[in-house]
Amino acid sequence: MERTLILVRHGQSEWNLKNLFTGWKDPDLTEKGVEEAIQAGKILGERNIKFDIALTSELIRAQRTCQYVLDGVGQSSLETIREQALNERDYGDLAGLNKDDARKKWGEEQVHVWRRSYDTPPPGGESLKDTGARVWPYYMSDILPRVLRGQCVLVAAHGNSLRSLVMVLDGLSKKQVTELNLGTGVPMIYKLNADSTVNSKEVLEL
């Protein structure tokens, strides 16, 4: 598993289920989310994957997903680093609101711009570009060097923090990344070349 980076979006959260904007709020996993995380660990375990380090955000839904994955590969006590830079995009004033209620208040078009544009943040929150501005430096300073040393690194995080990473890894344009959706609990396996470019990518659908 030399120079391997595995990204996993957390399993379904309680607020995903309720159709609420989540961001930096800290709801837990649903039963389905737990099942998704366990299944991700099982799939990776069946491939005999062993990690050297795990990194996750400061939010419980990502941390629990990370732990279930580690349990699944038989590495329950592996060193795990929690880092705010990997947190979900901050939805600001939208956090905690039902998405349908937000559309009624601000209009379908405006909410769509906040949710799906690359560089227009919601009130008091972050755009995808803003999220990338904290994710990318952390990737360069703390994640990529480990991978290039030959380690197998797990990153369990969130839809938008991981979209920021995938944008760089896959060379996506601003338009392409706004159309990208990452499934909950679905592992993505990247093998990197020595020059940090991507050698291969595999998405393990549950």
Say whether 205 is catalytic: no
Say whether 88 is catalytic: yes
DSSP label at 7?
E
Residue bearing tokens 């592992």: 187
Region of 181 on the Ramachandran plot (φ > 0 left; ψ -120 to 50 alpha; else beta): beta
Q: How far apart are CA 33 and CA 186, in angstroms?
A: 11
Q: Collapse the DSSP code of 80 into the 3-class scheme (helix H, G, I; strand E, B; otherwise coil) and give the result.
A: strand
Residue 147 identity (one-letter amino acid):
V
Q: How far apart are CA 130 and CA 73, in angstroms?
A: 34
Q: Collapse the DSSP code of 199 into the 3-class scheme (helix H, G, I; strand E, B; otherwise coil) and give the result.
A: strand
Of 2, 35, 36, 88, the catalytic one is: 88
Q: Is the dihedral of CA 79, 85, 88, 92 positive or negative?
A: positive
Q: How far apart are CA 53 and CA 68, in angstroms?
A: 15
Of 10, 36, 83, 158, the catalytic one is: 10
The set of residues, in sequence order, having a beta carbon less than 8 Å from that of 82 and lying 6+ positions away, is 55, 56, 57, 58, 63
Catalytic residues, by residue number, are 10, 88
